[in-house]
Amino acid sequence: MEVKQKMKLSLRSVQRVILPAVAVLLSGCSMMNIGAEDYGCPGLPNGVQCMSARDVYVATNNGQVPAPMVRGREAEQHEAEMVHKTGVGKSNESGVKQASPNDVVDNYVAPRLPDRPVPIRTPAQVMRIWVAPWEDSNGDLNTTGYIYTEIEPRRWVVGEPMMASDPVLRPLQSLDAPTTGIGNTAMSAEREARLERQREEREIRQEQIQQQREIASQKRNRLN
């Protein structure tokens, strides 16, 4: 029993000595000024400036990259080098200093829209004609074949086609006012002109179809 009591007393005495020693050691580390007083950006020691998302947007709104952050005497030397190489420095609305290069191409590329219509040309429409086997007047057998002909040439896409004639302008008339003979004559002349244009367009289309048929017939004869 006496041995156990002596061991307990010795352990208590050791704890009383060790705990104050540990506390003194920990407090001594805090008094040695270990580490830096201010916080820096993650990454390199002389990295870019620490800014919020809004500050970064304002600083890079004109397409330029903020200048690297330097401290102490290095700041004056860095500023002198930037002025000597690229010109006088300037600051934007956020207060972030930036270098204004004179002979350096800006790294900001703005999308450029076409300032004039883009020329577009449609491809030609080609028709393939199949020729069935047939026997000519000499009793010769002509085998099957194909004939390719162009039915619509290439053209520029420029919008609506040009008007065939100038529009007829008439003064405004009241609905209650009776129609005069001059108004009826103008309407009849306009109707006749419209019908005449339709007939001319129909004749032109028929001539084009006839020409295409003749071209196809000539090509077929050359193949024979």
Lowest mean pLDDT: which of 27-31, 138-142, 189-193?
Answer: 27-31
CA 27 remoteness from chain centre = 62
The 8-class DSSP code of residue 143 comes to: -
At 126 the pLDDT is 93
Q: Write down the pTM of the prediction.
A: 0.23
Contact predicate 162/194, CB 8 Å: no
Residue-wise DSSP of 207-218: HHHHHHHHHHHH
Give the dihedral of Cα atoms 156, 159, 161, 163; nearest 10 deg. Answer: -140
Q: What is the pLDDT of residue 101?
A: 47
Q: Where are the beta strands (DSSP E) in 6-124?
A: 90-91, 97-98, 121-122
Per residue in 98-143, pLDDT (tens digit) is: 545 444 455 666 666 666 667 788 899 999 999 999 898 899 998 8
User: For position 215, what pLDDT does the model report?
Assistant: 85
Q: How many CB atoms lie within 10 A of CB 59?
A: 22
* C-alpha 152 chain-centroid distance: 35
Domain residues of the chain, as ranges?
A: 53-93, 121-159+186-223
| Contact indicator for 108, 64 with CB cutoff of 8 Å | yes
Return the H-helix or E-strand segment holding 68: none
pLDDT tens-digit series, residues 204-219: 888 888 888 888 888 8
Please tell me which residue, 23 or 130, carries the higher pLDDT value. 130
Residue whose entry in the numeric block shows the structure tokens 């009849």: 188
Spatial distance between the Cα atoms of 195 and 201, rounded to a whole number of angstroms: 10
101, 84 Cβ separation under 8 angstroms: no
Residue type, 8: K
Query: How far is the C-alpha of 196 from the C-alpha of 164, rounded, in Å?
Result: 12
Predicted pLDDT of residue 88: 47
**Span 52-111, pLDDT tens digits:** 777 777 777 665 555 555 555 555 665 666 555 544 445 555 555 554 544 445 566 666
Distance CA 172, CA 181 (A): 16
Helix (H, G, I), strand (E, B) or coil at 203: helix
